Amino acid sequence: MQLSILDLSPIYEGVSPLVALQQTVKLAQTAESLGYSRFWVSEHHDMPQFASSSPEVLLAHIGAQTTRIRLGSGAVLLPNYKPFKVAEAFSLLATLHPGRIDLGIGRAPGGSAHASMALCDRFLEQVRRMPELLKDLSALLHNEFTVEGQPVFARPIPPDPPGLWLLGTNKKSAEFAAMYGTGYVFGHFMSEHDGEEALALYRHSFQPARMRQEPAVIVAVSVICADSMEEAQALAERGRARSFREPVIGNPDYVSTVLKKMGKQYQASEFMILTDIPDYQKRIRSYELIAQSMIASGANVFDRT
């Protein structure tokens, strides 16, 4: 089983945004040393509790301070942008860090209604155009995009294009991912829908694309792990984990057992872990314990696409 990390760059009480971003880099370096497959960062706007508003900028910084782990966005919120600009940014990242970049796409606003208005005048219209936006983005990453019959390229053209993933929580997002041959990340920690049904639809409807011939699934889960069950529960009470759907909270044996059971349930070989503990050191300790119980020593996990 492969494990990855989704980091929201949380700004805990009494901490500056700079310190929060430094902790994100430290967590990425720790994840690489522990054998995690990927490290993804989020996009949020005008939210005082999160420091990551521009995944591509943060990923460039993290990439310069790591060497092997795949880096990605969880997610770039595509309705806010022109696909061409997104493709350019991630093609540049993939040129700087060959074979290491994932482009995770979402369609949520990432902030309040007024923040969305400040960023994009026609957000709801853009959400309705999501299939068209995905089609254009995919064409750009494949170097097959045209405007009025003339080719337009998202340069620089990297040796390995970014891996394209769609993040979602329901059957609609699963349908989009299948239609355009992207990988699919099911947001278990924030979904009110049956993940099994959405993932079954994705696998059944998947259309092979140039960059991906077979369906690929990641399940994003909220997890808090500590040396004892009691400590894990206490940490969960301090953080926001209770606001997530069915967080996995416990010691390493319990967490490992639950995740393996979920892997069979969802037929998933990779989990993306979100750990929200308002203590940066204990957060790292949680990821260490999960890795020690679930990641094979010496396993080569950095070639996943």
C-alpha 267/C-alpha 274 separation (Å) is 20
- What is residue 297's predicted lDDT score, i.e. its pLDDT? 42
Give the domain 2-294 fold: TIM Barrel (3.20.20)
Per-residue pLDDT at 251 = 98
**What are the structure tokens assigned to 234, written together?**
């206490």
List CB contacts of 35: < 8 A, sequence separation 6 or more.
3, 291, 295, 296, 299, 301
pTM: 0.95
Burial class (CB in 10 A: 0-12, 13-18, 19+), 238: middle
Report pLDDT for 38. 98
Measured CA to CA, the distance from residue 64 to residue 57 in angstroms comes to 11
pLDDT at residue number 305 = 56
The rounded distance, in Å, linking the Cα atoms of 246 and 194 is 12
pLDDT of residue 127: 94
| pLDDT mean values, one per 10 residues, the chain (305 residues) | 96 96 98 98 97 98 98 97 98 98 96 94 93 96 97 97 96 95 96 91 95 95 97 89 80 96 95 96 98 69 48
Radius of gyration of the chain (CA): 18
